[in-house]
A and B are shown apart, each in its own frame.
Chain A
Amino acid sequence: MIELVTARNGKSVLKKDGKLLASVFDPLREAAAWADKVQSEFGADESIIVLGLGSGYHVEELSARCSDRAIYVVEKDVEIAERVFELCGGIRRDRVIVEPDWIRLADLPVFQEALGGVYRIAPHGPSYQIDPEYYGAVDRLLRGRDKLSFLLLMKTRPEFLPLLDAEAVNAIGDEAISIKTISRLFSARAVGSRQRRIWQLLEELVV
């Protein structure tokens, strides 16, 4: 159940199942602190994928600071999204990805767009605490280091699919996905392709 509460500074804050999605004292100050941390960790050329809309203030703050960067948000709850759009006018709706089933994220065009270049993951603590299973799975999906996440992530990289050997893909085990894993997946068709050569260059970095 979603409730609206008023923080000490007069701002409205969302509450789901009794858990707050922002500070009940000063959500704007909390949002600024969160944005400070995100800005300090990420480079200028990276897009940001925020996990959890919360009450929207942290996303609004980050968007105001990083207007030159692509900021996407993954949110599980449709109702939270609707409430946040009412509260915060500074969030781009076209970059908020609302999908309760994380497995289906990779099929969404806007999610594929978010993963188009170099991206960094910025979890929102209160959102994580409310649904750690969902946001944990999204986090793993975005990193792509386990078999299921990696295979789902490959949907966002259609240029690779024709170059891979189906048997090798099926044979991926439970080990963490690494460059060695990826190198084994390429078929003979891949030889000479630009994508394969980029991976071959990367392989030389870990030799």
Chain B
Amino acid sequence: MKILILSLLRIGDVIMAAPALRGLRDRYPQARIHLVVNSQFTGIAPLLPYIDRVIPFERERLQKGLGDASVPVFESYARLESFIDSLNAENYDVAINLTHNRLSAWMMSLIEAKAKTGLSFDAQGRVSFGSNWFRYLNYQVDSEGPEVFHFSDVFRFALDLDGERENTLDSALIESASGRREADPVLNETGSRNIIAVQPLTSDRKKDWGVQNFSAAIELMAKRFPEATFVVLGAPFEKEKLLPFVDRLRAKTIQARLAVVSLEGAFSLLKSSRILLTGDTSIKHLACAAGTRVVEICVGSSDPYRTGAYRHGSVIVRTRETCAPCPHSGACHRESHACAERVPAEAVALVAGEVYEGRMFQLRAIAEEYADYIDVLRVESRVSGYWAAYSVLETLTEESLARWLDLTCRKLWFMGMGSQTGGMVPLGTEVVRLSRLLRVIHPWVSAIEWRHFFADMERDLRSAEARINGFKVGLEYLKGCYEDPRRMREFVRGLIAFRDRIRHVPLMRSFKDGLDSVIEDDVSPAFTRFRRIMSLVAEIERRTEIYLRLLRGLAGQFPVPHGKKRMEKL
């Protein structure tokens, strides 16, 4: 079997896909697996020895050929055509697109594989996803807030890889001999087992916390941990910027060293580091794959919920500025880089200290102290079956509970509980996982409190269920007269009222987007609109059913002790 995978964004995206890649190799040990990446990232190949071939896509060269008037006008066309022909000569059985953009979708349309999954255009440019998860990725790109899955999870769920081994970046990359050789001089020089790796620069100025902030945090940490050595990581083009930074640290008698190494060398260095202190960078993902806990500083356009450090035990320090996360494109619209300025170095140093020492019980106190400036998020990925980042100050409310219920519901929905036949989906497994996650987030909440929450939410869902049944009856009636604008308007008024009602029900707010799009659609032909409404009502019905089953399952996971049950009855 021959499998082709496209990962045509940045190196961080390639690393985030590594659990899925390794999962594919585990599932298909005899398959030939080829991976297409942008040519400047082929340095990842030695860390992915289970990938048979890493194929460079000469994106920059093609762009140059298009933009440079001195280059023959058909050169980029000829190069691309030759590239596509070389791919098709391989006769792939499966092509998988882990990139979510139009460029990759057109490439998929040109690749002649027996089966395709991921965003793809057909010859006429009509889109297909091949999986609910890739369709979800399309929706998720535009949505805001924490009710989203991490990209690493989306990739592996889309490929039906949900095992324990795949639920982690650990061992998704394999250390190379040359990386080790590159790292050894640095490790020998530091002679220290207490390495704190630091990457102060990101690829986007908006995501930079600032070298002066890093410097201040390192100074504080050095005082607390005099045995630690700070290894500052950077690419060759960053050397000029980082040398003065390291020199200033050394001038303050801090044990600091600059390590300008390749991806392989950085991976080896990170494997020997206790923690990595960084912004939103690809090195963060590398550290996660190296098994190193990460303290990630999220400012600017960094979005922790989609691309946060995928390593259990990592901590994300997120600015509380309301303008963050900002869009990737476009410069900062404020006079100063407020989101970065208002993340105190002291707070970061304290958080990093906790992670360095491998204990987290002070995180809550730190988060409370600096609550006006930052959110402190803990990463949990061992019990939940998906990556989860929760605020250490998170209190149990319907709102906070709804987030986790919604994520699990979506997972079950995409796994097949949304289909008419229902399929064999591990509802019980997901209930157990969710209950474990809730216990981790709220360890002090009693079983009775949990049960009260579940009961209240179940009550809201039951009344919504009645309303949904009403819609279904209404739809039967509308079937024969959807072309009548008056009847359609009447029906839509009912949807508007339903939408207004669920606004106050946290668990049902996720239906709002679907309702909005159907209610506000006054351009589609009547039949199309009718079909969309039918599809939406069916989805709301099924997801409500999943929520109810989850809540009942969860209630079973939080049994009330016998004596207290009697008290409840009183």
Do A204 and B101 form a contact, CB below 8 Å, given A143-B69, A197-B106?
yes
Stretch at the interface among B59-67, B186-194, B284-292, B376-384: B59-67
Specify which of A144, A193, A205 is in contact with B73 (CB 8 Å cutoff): A144
Interfacial chain B residues near A153, Cβ < 8 Å = 73-74
B281 contacts which chain A residues (CB < 8 A)? none
Q: Give the chain B neighbours of A199 by CB distance below 8 A.
A: 77
Interfacial chain A residues near B70, Cβ < 8 Å: 143
**Shortest distance in angstroms between A113's beta carbon and chain B's nearest beta carbon?**
13
Contact with A along B118-133 (1 / 0, CB 8 A): 0001011100000000
Interface residues of A, count at CB 8 A:
32
A205 touches B62 (CB 8 A): yes
Q: Does chain B have a CB within 8 A of A64?
A: no
* A202-B77 contact given A143-B70, A143-B72, A145-B69, CB 8 Å threshold: yes
The answer to whether A103 has its CB under 8 Å from any CB of chain B is no
Binary CB contact string for chain B from 27 to 70 against chain A (1 if under 8 A, 0 otherwise): 00000000000000000000000000000000100110011011
- CA A194 – CA B123 in complex, angstroms? 8
Q: Tell me the minimal C-beta distance from B95 to chain A in angstroms.
A: 15
CB pair A202–B72 under 8 Å, yes or no, is no
In angstroms, how far is the closest chain A Cβ from the Cβ of B7? 16
When the two chains form the complex, which single residue of B82, B84, B103, B124 contacts A117, counting CB atoms closer than 8 Å?
B82
A177-198 Cβ-contact flags toward B at 8 Å (1 or 0): 1110010000000011110011
- Given contact pairs A118-B82, A201-B103, A206-B63, A145 touches B110 in the complex (Cβ within 8 A): no
Query: In the bound complex, what is the Cα–Cα distance between A197 and B107 (angstroms)?
Result: 8
A150 contacts B73, C-beta separation under 8 Å: yes
Interface of B is mostly: helix
Instruction: Answer yes or no: B481 CB below 8 A from chain A CBs.
Output: no
Please tell me if the beta carbons of B124 and A194 are within 8 angstroms of each other in the complex: no
Smallest beta-carbon distance A137→chain B, Å:
15
- Name the A residues within 8 Å of B59 (CB-CB): 205
Known contacts A150-B73, A192-B123, A202-B76; A197 and B110 CB within 8 A of each other:
yes
Q: Residue on A with the closest CB to B123?
A: A192
Cα–Cα, bound, A176→B66 (Å): 12
A9 within 8 Å of B (CB atoms): no
| Inter-chain contact B66/A198, CB cutoff 8 Å | no
What chain A residues lie within 8 Å of B106 (beta carbons)? 197, 200-201, 204
Kindly provide the distance from the CB of B39 to the nearest chain A CB, expressed in whole angstroms.
Answer: 12
Considering only residues 95-109 of chain B, those with a C-beta below 8 Å from chain A are: 101-103, 106-107, 109
Which residue on chain B has the smallest CB distance to residue A118? B78
Interface residue from B73, B78, B81, B102 paired with A143 (Cβ < 8 Å): B73
- With a cutoff of 8 Å between Cβ atoms, the chain B residues found around residue A143 in the complex are 69-73
Residues of A within 8 A of B110 (CB): 194, 197-198, 201
Closest B-chain residue to A156, C-beta based? B74
A72 CB, nearest partner CB in chain B, Å:
13
Task: Kindly state whether residue A135 has any CB partner on chain B within 8 Å.
Answer: no
Question: In the complex, which range does the number of interface residues on chain B fall in?
Answer: 20 to 34
B519 at the interface (CB under 8 A from A): no
Contact B78–A144 (Cβ < 8 Å): no
Chain B, residue nearest A207 (CB): B102
In contact, B123 and A144 (Cβ under 8 angstroms): no
Q: Which of A117-157 contact B (CB under 8 A)?
A: 117-119, 121, 142-145, 150, 153, 157
Q: A191 touching B125 by the CB < 8 A rule?
A: yes
When chains A and B are docked, how far (Å) is the Cα of A117 from the Cα of B74? Answer: 9
The answer to whether B80 has its CB under 8 Å from any CB of chain A is: yes
| B101, closest chain A residue (CB) | A204
- Find the A residue at minimum CB distance from B64: A205
The CA of A207 and the CA of B62, in the complex, are separated in Å by 13
**A residues near B78, Cβ cutoff 8 Å:** 117-118
For residue A198, which residues in chain B have a CB less than 8 angstroms away from its CB? Answer: 77, 80-81, 84, 110
* Chain A neighbourhood of B125, CB < 8 A: 191, 200
Between A144, A178, A202, the greatest number of chain B beta carbons within 10 A of the residue's beta carbon is seen for: A202
Query: Which of B67, B73, B123 is in CB contact (< 8 Å) with A177?
Result: B73
B456 close to A (CB within 8 Å): no
Answer yes or no: B184 CB below 8 A from chain A CBs. no
Is B79 located at the chain interface by the 8 A CB criterion? yes
The reply to whether the CB of B75 lies closer than 8 angstroms to some CB of chain A is: yes
Q: Could you tell me if B103 and A178 are in contact, using CB atoms closer than 8 angstroms? A: no
- With a 10 A CB-CB cut-off, give which of A118, A142, A194, A199 has the most chain B CB atoms: A118
- The chain A residue sitting closest to B124, CB to CB, is A192
Is B80's CB under 8 angstroms from A191's CB?
Answer: no
**Complex CA distance for A177 and B74, rounded to whole angstroms:** 11
Q: How far is the CB of B246 from chain A (nearest CB, A)?
A: 36
Residue numbers in A under 8 Å from B124 (CB-CB): 191-192
Contact B123 A197 (CB under 8 A): yes
Which residues of the other chain, A, contact B62 by a CB distance below 8 angstroms?
202, 205
Instruction: Give bound CA distance, A176 to B75, whole Å.
Output: 16
A196 to B109: give the CA distance in the assembly, Å.
11
CB atoms of A142 and B72 under 8 A apart: yes
Chain B residues near A191: list those with CB within 8 A: 123-125
CB distance from B353 to the nearest CB of A (A): 45
Given A198-B84, A201-B110, A205-B103, A119 and B72 touching (CB < 8 A)?
yes
By CB atoms of chain B within 10 A, which of A145, A177, A207 has the most? Answer: A145
Residues of A with C-beta under 8 A to B69: 143, 145, 176
* B-side contacts of A142, CB under 8 Å: 72
Are A206 and B80 also in contact (CB < 8 A) when A142-B72, A197-B106 are?
no
Report how far A70 CA is from B77 CA in the complex, Å. Answer: 19
What are 11 of the A-B contact pairs (CB < 8 Å)?
A115-B74, A119-B75, A143-B73, A144-B74, A153-B73, A191-B124, A198-B80, A200-B106, A201-B103, A201-B106, A204-B103
Residues of A at the B interface (CB closer than 8 Å) are 45, 115, 117-119, 121, 142-145, 150, 153, 157, 176-179, 182, 191-194, 197-202, 204-207
Seed contacts A118-B79, A198-B80; 14 additional CB < 8 Å A-B pairs: A117-B78, A117-B82, A121-B72, A144-B72, A179-B66, A191-B125, A194-B110, A197-B121, A197-B123, A198-B110, A199-B77, A200-B125, A202-B62, A204-B106
List of 4 A-B pairs having minimum Cβ-Cβ separation, nearest first: A204-B103, A144-B73, A192-B123, A201-B106
Residues of chain B having any CB pair with chain A under 8 Å:
59, 62-63, 66-67, 69-82, 84, 101-103, 106-107, 109-110, 121, 123-125
